[in-house]
Structure 1
Amino acid sequence: MSVTVKVEGLRELERNLAGLTKAAGKGALRRALRTAAEPMADIARQLAPDDESTGGYDLRESIVVGTKLSRSQARKHRKMFRDNRSSVEMFMGAGPLPQAIFVEFGTDPHINKGKFAGSMHPGTPARPFIRPAWDQDKMAMLERLKVELRKEIDKSVQRAIRKQARQAARR
């Protein structure tokens, strides 16, 4: 399923971003994305089931906002976006826990393998937590992103101006 989102009113920010170095621009974008996505991650954490028996790190605790993917997630992602190296990406979701996808989407009834081979598993109902968080917060997240982008790009532009002034003073 594909979701298309249109964001308007960012031309001025794009011009300011073009005036920065590539590294400074990417850093500003990453900081803005992380800050804007964190409230959505909080909603997903509230919606995720909490297994009291795990005593700590479980599905709810694994939900993070970051630039890193697990090895298997990265492999699948590379196949999808192999030719796009210049973009800035931030991910929000469950960590590399194998049960995360089964909780989000559920499972159909199936015949077990391994220790319980041959027995019938009744399946599990879906208990979505990522998609509802997106549906609930997507427009607010985009508004936060616009505000955060403005702040971060302005800060980066000011840093670049101060750096140029220091370099000019040394000469």
Structure 2
Amino acid sequence: MATGIKFEGGRELERALLELSTKSALKVGRFALRRAANEVLKAARANVPVDEGRLRRALRLRIDRGRYDKALLSALVYVSASAFGPRPRKTNRNSTVKGKFGPPRYSYQIGSYPQVYGAFVEFGAPGHGLPARPWFRPAWDSAGKQYAIQRIAEELANGLEREAARLARTI
């Protein structure tokens, strides 16, 4: 739960967005969300611990519309599977359990998905001897929260001014 966040002028921005067409309002909102979320993405890339650098290169930003309410927009910073190359498939090693022959019991490697690897780096895996090395939460604490909301409000106001100027030119 976010605490200490103060946002003023939301009703005025909402009224101005409602005066625009749906397409224009979504365009302005998508632009504002992308600009604000890019700061969080940059901070997350700066905080990622680098072994080979693939996790840093795999971080992506996606702006989506709501599944049921198409007027809602959301920003998602995520780990892309494509940056990791092909996912390791079934292992072809024999089992290492003494007295057991044949294929291994678990055919997929733990952490073979990039999303799982990012979570293991963030939260650790105590059972596997992997310590936690948080990288996203500090990025959100430094570049997110209050800053992101203020940045969205500023970008929405700027976008509304641009759309109003564009509409004035067309009339």
1:87 aligns with one of 72, 86, 104 = 72
User: Using the alignment, how far apart are the partners of 1:86 and 1:15 within structure 2?
Assistant: 14
User: Using the alignment, how far apart are the partners of 2:15 and 2:161 within structure 1?
Assistant: 11
User: Using the alignment, how far apart are the partners of 2:34 and 2:139 within structure 1?
Assistant: 16
1:62 aligns with one of 52, 58, 64 = 58
User: Using the alignment, how far apart are the partners of 1:103 and 1:3 within structure 2?
Assistant: 24
Would you tell me which structure has more helix in proportion to its own residues? 1
Question: Are 1:107 and 2:155 an aligned pair?
Answer: no
The residue type equivalent to 1:60 in the other structure is R
CA contact (8 A) 1:93 1:130 kept: no
For the pair shown, which has the larger CA radius of gyration, 1 or 2? Answer: 2
> Number of matched residues?
135
1:149 aligns with one of 146, 156, 165 = 156
Match of 2:142 in 1: 136
Of all paired residues, the percent bearing the same amino acid is: 34
Within-5 A mapping of 1:20-39? 20-39=20-39
The residue type equivalent to 1:130 in the other structure is F
DSSP-derived class of the 1:17 partner: helix
Question: Are 1:127 and 2:127 an aligned pair?
Answer: no
Question: Are 1:45 and 2:45 an aligned pair?
Answer: yes
Root mean square deviation, CA, Å:
2.2
CA contact (8 A) 2:43 2:139 kept: yes
Q: Deviations over 1:98-153 (max 9, x none)?
A: 311111111131xxxxxxxxxxxx33111111111111122122221111111112
CA contact (8 A) 2:122 2:132 kept: yes
Structure 1 segments (4+ residues) deviating >6 Å: none
**Residue segments in structure 1 that go unaligned for 5+ positions in a row:** 69-80, 110-121, 166-171
| TM superposition shift of 1:24 | 0.8
CA contact (8 A) 2:30 2:73 kept: yes
